[in-house]
Amino acid sequence: MTTTSPAAPPERAARRRGTPATWLRSGGLSRLAFALPMILVFLVFSWTPIVRSVVMSFQETNLLTPATWVGIDNFVAVLNDPLLGTAVRNTLYFAALALVMGFPIPILMAVLMSEVRRGKGVYSALAYLPVVVPPVVAVLLWKVFYDASPSGVFNTVLGAVGISPQPWLQSPDTAMPSLVIEATWAAAGGSIIIYLAALLSVPPELYDAAEVDGASIWRKAWHVTLPQLRNVIFVMLILQILATAQIFLEPFLFTGGGPNNATVTVLLLIYRYAFQNSLGGNYGMATALSVMLAMFLAVLSWVYFRLTNRWSTS
């Protein structure tokens, strides 16, 4: 505790002896009182459920009879589900599209915004507005925008520039890109603010030095700004991958997984196993798939951090 304060030595000695009486006298009870809310909520609502998740993936659980051990049956059942392949492919497709469309935009916008000298505050506020809109409202509103009739909001805009109406959510081909566009719109503002904060911490001397060496604006952006943002970009990249691997709200509210299962994602499948099952919740299969997804993401992040660490230090 207070190692330098004059009051500390006797107290530390008391704590080292460690009988219940000295623990009490040194304020152990009040320390515990402060720790208790955290310990209780984490114990009941975090640590225990995490452990229980692993246990349940090897059990058959329903709410009426005690759980029974079934070995790896749940995992076998999940792996034999013909929808799993579709869900994994769709999730990968979503993640890939989100990377291609959504990842570079915030970096570009933040760099441009950090260059303007006036209106930065207004621009940041405008960029952040979509993040403030509740996600459910955003999805429901975009569902109206995606109206497939020629007089739908987006189709009217497309019509004005001479593009024929798109089916958006109605067609298996365009449904997933539509989801990604909305998700990108909803998330870009948060990333822009984070990149703006990172841009502020680029040491000004680096730009001065580059100018002394006669670097052009492009070379400064490429050789000073981007390398300085490298670590933030690495972290944002893995965070986005982790988030898109668990995408749920957009497919659930936009399409419910349709049309023709084109937007069934892994998380939607987990939800269906557990909560949309006509035979009662199959909690075993749901936790088995969650555990597999979590393990995959853990391995992915570990490998990713190993790799990026090597790149950052070299």
Q: How far is the CB of 13 from another protein (least distance, A)?
A: 14
Residue nearer to another protein on the CB measure, 140 or 173? 140
- Residues paired with 69 in a beta bridge: 59
66-105 residues near another protein, rule: CB under 8 A:
none
Q: Residue 167 burial (CB < 10 Å; 0-12/13-18/19+)? A: middle
Nearer to another protein, 124 or 261 (CB): 124
The smaller minimum CB distance to another protein, of residues 61 and 86, is found at 61
How many helices (H) and strands (E) the chain has is answered by: 17, 2
DSSP 170: G
* 114 versus 174: smaller Cβ distance to another protein: 114
Residue numbers 247-266 binding another protein by CB under 8 A: 248-249, 252-253
Closest to another protein by CB, 173 vs 241, is 241
CB 233 within 8 A of CB 308: no
* Options 10, 25, 46, 213; binder of another protein; rule CB under 8 A: 46
Q: Which of residues 104-163 bind another protein (CB under 8 A)?
A: 109, 111-117, 119-121, 123-138, 140-142, 144-145, 147, 149, 151-153, 156
At a CB cut-off of 8 Å and minimum separation 6, what does 271 contact?
248, 252, 286
Number of residues that bind another protein (CB under 8 A): 119
Q: What share of the chain is helix, strand, coil (3-state, %, to 5)?
A: 75, 0, 25
Q: Phi and psi dihedrals of 302, rounded to 5?
A: -60, -50
**Binding track over 210-239 against another protein, x by CB under 8 A:** -x-----x--xx--xx-----xx--xx--x
- Residue 171 has what DSSP assignment? S
User: For residue 34, how far is the Cα from the chain centroid?
Assistant: 31
Closest CA to 288 of 68, 57, 77, 71: 57
> Does residue 21 bind another protein (CB under 8 A)?
no
Binding segment for another protein (CB under 8 A), chosen from 3-11, 83-91, 95-103, 168-176, is 3-11
Least distance to another protein from the beta carbon of 298, Å? 7
Half-sphere exposure of 179 (CA within 13 A, CB side): 32
Q: How far is the CB of 9 from another protein (least distance, A)?
A: 13
Q: Angle at CA 193, nearest 5°, toward 190 and 195?
A: 110
Which region, judged by CB under 8 A, interacts with another protein, from 31-39, 71-79, 89-97, 171-179? Answer: 31-39
Q: Cβ distance 192 to 106 under 8 Å?
A: yes
Considering the complex, state which of residue 76 and residue 243 has its C-beta at the smaller distance from another protein.
Answer: 243
Instruction: Name which position in 96, 197, 209, 303 contacts another protein (CB under 8 A).
Output: 197
